[in-house]
Amino acid sequence: MNTVIQTLNDALFLYYLVSNLIYLFLLIFAVRASVLHQRILASIRLERFRASPFSPPVSIIAPAHNEGQSIAQSVRSFLTLDYPAIEVIVVNDGSVDDTLDVLTREFQLLRTDLAYVQEVPCHAVRGLYMSQTEPRLLVVDKEAGGSKADATNAGLNVASSPYVCVLDADSLLEKDALLRVMVPILADPEHVIAAGGIVRAVNGSLVEDGQLRKVRLPRRFIEVVQVVEYLRAFLVGREGWSYFNMLMIISGAFGVFRRDLVRAVGGYRPAAIGEDFDLMVRMHRRLRELNVDYRACFVPDPVCWTEVPPDWKSVGKQRSRWQKGMIDTLWPNRDMLFRPRYGRIGFIALPNLWIYEALAPLIEIVGLASILLAAFLGILSSHFLLLFLIFGYAFSTMLSIGGVLLEEITFRRYNDWREVAKLLLCCFAEHFPYHQAHLWWRLRGMWQYARGDVAWGKMTRVGFGEAQAKQGAR
């Protein structure tokens, strides 16, 4: 018994050590990638791309389900993007609120008899609407498919551009965000098949007429901790993996893809829970099987602002869904593991996701139980236990601080020193109680998936205008 517990403790210590070293490695190369990106920005002139007749058109696809509170401002932000040629496709996915009514009223929609050809699978389309005031806007009204993947496929079926930009309907893009995220594609269209920008929390910021007027931190801890979480995930994780050309996810909130390639892999899998992750894995699979030289890029400066869940219950539902989405993608693609034809994806990227993401909640809970049992039985000294906990806390806090400092050194979206201090303080408070809650949410997601519960669940949406009013009232 003692030998088993000691072995488990040693394995857990090694697991945490390797995990932290991986993230430290990613942080180092994320800093390097950020420096290189700043040099590239200094050497290019965006106005050349902006004015170039050779810039390829982009179809913006924004699935919307019960987004009546924010849809008008989001669509206005999409229409004012600083890019030569865009079309905006809003897919009303069976909303039961006033989403379609708001769009009809704000943009004077009229039903059209445009031909609809279904090339990738989705639920039935009920009608197509065009705006009398904005010719670049097309609204697809369809039956609820139960997933963003199904709704996005409806948008793909009507998209006419060589590239599609997939967004969340509750998101706002900075005016030059699309232009900036297209830079690697415009620079190397032969090899770059997809690019994604950073997603940040809009909660607490000032939004007027679909435009972000002033960046501010939210006041609630549960919202601020998500700001830190997003900075770490994007500026450390995705920046680092992109540097080694092993980017496994381009956020569904803001990503650009080659339309022909998306259609070639069958579009989004309609039943996918994590449609963004699932699509990227299938694209990697196809291109590796064809032995094609390609790149998928993370671009850190084009910003998509999104409303993060404002309460603990909604955050829990979202994180459980993310965990289900990860397992739902990794399990069907398990045959890619350690097979030479899939190269770095099969030998490094996917094993890392299995060990340090998908199975991490189970490994952590079993490991913590073994450590506590060892301490209780006297196998593990209380001094070593204390050092182990301090080590884990210090390392995870350092990574969060690294993400915040990387943001402040390079992009400086938060200019008030008090807000930067608030972010840094949140890094120290993130490990407890948020980490423990996050562990529980992910375990719940694994259990839900195991028993066949793949429902998205309803998310609490405050809306941009309402959020500002509440922030101002405090």
What is residue 409's predicted lDDT score, i.e. its pLDDT?
83
- CA–CA separation, 281 and 291 (whole Å): 15
Give the pLDDT confidence score for residue 54 in this predicted structure.
Answer: 77
- This prediction has a pTM of 0.91
Round to whole Å and give the CA distance between 262 and 264: 5
pLDDT (0 to 100) of residue 383: 73
Query: For residue 200, which amino acid is it?
Result: R
Give the model's pLDDT for residue 205.
Answer: 92
CB 27: neighbour CB atoms within 10 A? 21
pLDDT of residue 465: 53
Q: pLDDT tier at 458 (50, 70, 90 boundaries)? A: low
- Enumerate the β-bridge partners of residue 58: 86, 163
Q: Is the pLDDT of residue 77 over 70?
A: yes
Mean pLDDT of all residues belonging to the chain: 89
Tokens of 25: 């490695």
pLDDT higher than 70, residue 459: no
Query: 394 CB contacts (<8 Å, ≥6 apart)?
Result: none
Task: Please compute the mean of the pLDDT values over residues 67-78 and round it to a whole number.
Answer: 88
Confidence of residue 472 (pLDDT cuts 50, 70, 90): very low
**3-class SS shares of the chain: helix, strand, coil, % to 5:** 55, 15, 30
| Amino acid 462: pLDDT | 66
Spell out where 95-182 has E strands: 109-112, 125-131, 137-142, 163-167, 171-173
CA distance 128 to 158: 10
Least confident of 205-219, 319-333, 335-349: 205-219
Mean pLDDT score, 14-38: 89
Q: What is the mean pLDDT of residues 71-86?
A: 90
**What pLDDT sits at residue 457?**
58
Q: Where residue 467 falls among pLDDT bands split at 50, 70, 90?
A: very low
**What integer pLDDT is reported at residue 34 of this predicted model?**
87
Q: Tell whether the torsion through CA atoms of 323, 324, 328 and 331 is positive or negative.
A: positive
What own/partner pairs with CB < 8 Å and gap ≥ 24 does 315-318 have? 315/222, 315/226, 315/441, 316/437, 316/440, 316/441, 316/444, 317/457, 317/458, 317/459, 318/459
pLDDT confidence band for 474 (50 / 70 / 90): very low
pLDDT of residue 469: 42
- Residue 212, strand partner residues: 207
The token duo for 464 is 């941009």
How far is Cα 118 from Cα 125, in angstroms, rounded to an integer?
Answer: 9
Is the confidence at residue 38, as pLDDT, over 70?
A: yes
Chain position carrying tokens 């500026």? 235
Question: Is the confidence at residue 382, as pLDDT, over 90?
Answer: no
How many angstroms separate the CA atoms of 112 and 94, rounded? Answer: 18
Greater confidence (229 vs 48) lies with 229
pLDDT digits (tens, 9 = 90+) for 417-448: 899 999 999 999 888 889 999 999 999 999 99
User: What pLDDT does residue 460 have?
Assistant: 61
Q: Read off the pLDDT of each residue in 67-94 and give the average, rounded to a whole number.
A: 91
- Structural domains in the chain, sorted by start: 1-474 (3.90.550.10)
pLDDT of 258: 97
pLDDT in tens, 138-189: 999 999 988 899 999 999 999 999 999 999 887 888 889 999 999 899 889 9
Of the candidates 39, 40, 30, 42, the one whose C-alpha atom is nearest the C-alpha of residue 406 is 30
User: Is omega for the bond preceding 218 within 30 degrees of 0, making it cis?
Assistant: no
Q: Give the model confidence (pLDDT) of 264-317 as tens digits.
A: 999 999 989 999 999 999 999 999 999 999 999 999 887 899 889 999 999 999
